[in-house]
Structure 1
């Protein structure tokens, strides 16, 4: 699945973002702090790396995120411990780990923005119309 996501990245233009940085999806990571230092855009992929024997990744709503409630999740992202999630909409997303690990900080809230507009190169001298140029009096 990771290979599929990586193959799709050039087509979608999104970034592959490893959640939590080097430690990944694990205990003793401040995901609130981690997320505040990043920007997330539609088309990006979250890459969750974790030990699937202990942890899960569940997408939940805001209330369940705040209460660490894993019983009514939106989507179970857990597959093999190297799982990706495509950010397809500009909105808030909430994730947590079940089994009580959420109460130990394994939860993530992010806001996803629309993709930035493309940056065009400045016009060259060859394609600029100069309105102040002298006109010939024929």
Structure 2
């Protein structure tokens, strides 16, 4: 009877180990699914927009750049400043300090190493400049950020092929379906 009892306990441990492995497998699949979905959602959360055609440099007219590039900035976009961090920096300032090139009492120093990003979180005008006198050499920019309006619906396709919008929706849904299917197996 003792031998039978030990055997039953051993089988129970094996069964528990199998259940634990199955649980771990389910958790790993679930985490992978969540990660892919988050990447798909995150990629639609705003564009990265480089400031200036040649980066954040002196003797450059950023107002002209904004006009000629017809750049438009929307809430959740990322402003991307590229510059030589040995000489320049990027400070967010208020309108008065922007107009007078005053770097004292700045709102935020976004300088991190010459390849810096700043996410615009609300519709308003953001003011940036570089200190050390470089503002007087043109290193300042005022970025007007707008709420993104919903795009009008695309016209129906005449030849029956799916629109590009349809393809943009179908691919993520297909990936999601495959992940869910693998999760259920």
CA distance in 2 between partners of 1:46 and 1:83 (Å):
8
Mapped contact 1:35–1:109 kept (Cα < 8 A): no
TM superposition score normalised by structure 1: 0.78
Counterparts of residues 16-95 of structure 1 (less than 5 Å): 16-21=48-53, 23-36=54-67, 37-95=70-128
Residue 114 (1) aligns with residue 142 (2): no
Quickly say closer, same or farther: Cα 1:102–1:9, change in 2 above 3 A: farther
For residues 62-119 of structure 1, the C-alpha deviation after alignment (integer angstroms, 9 at most, x for no partner) is 0000000001100000001000011110001100000000011000012111012133
List 4+ stretches of structure 1 deviating above 6 A: none
**How much has 1:123 moved relative to structure 2?**
6.3
Q: How many residues align?
A: 117
Structure 1 or 2: more strand by fraction: 1
Aligned-partner Cα distance in 2 for 1:15–1:116:
15
Give the structure with the larger helix fraction.
2
Q: What's the C-alpha RMSD, in Å, of the aligned pairs?
A: 2.0
Identify which range, 25-34 or 94-103, moves more after superposition. 25-34
Q: Of the two structures, which has the highest relative contact order with CA contacts closer than 8 Å and spacing of 6 or more?
A: 1
SS at match of 2:43: helix
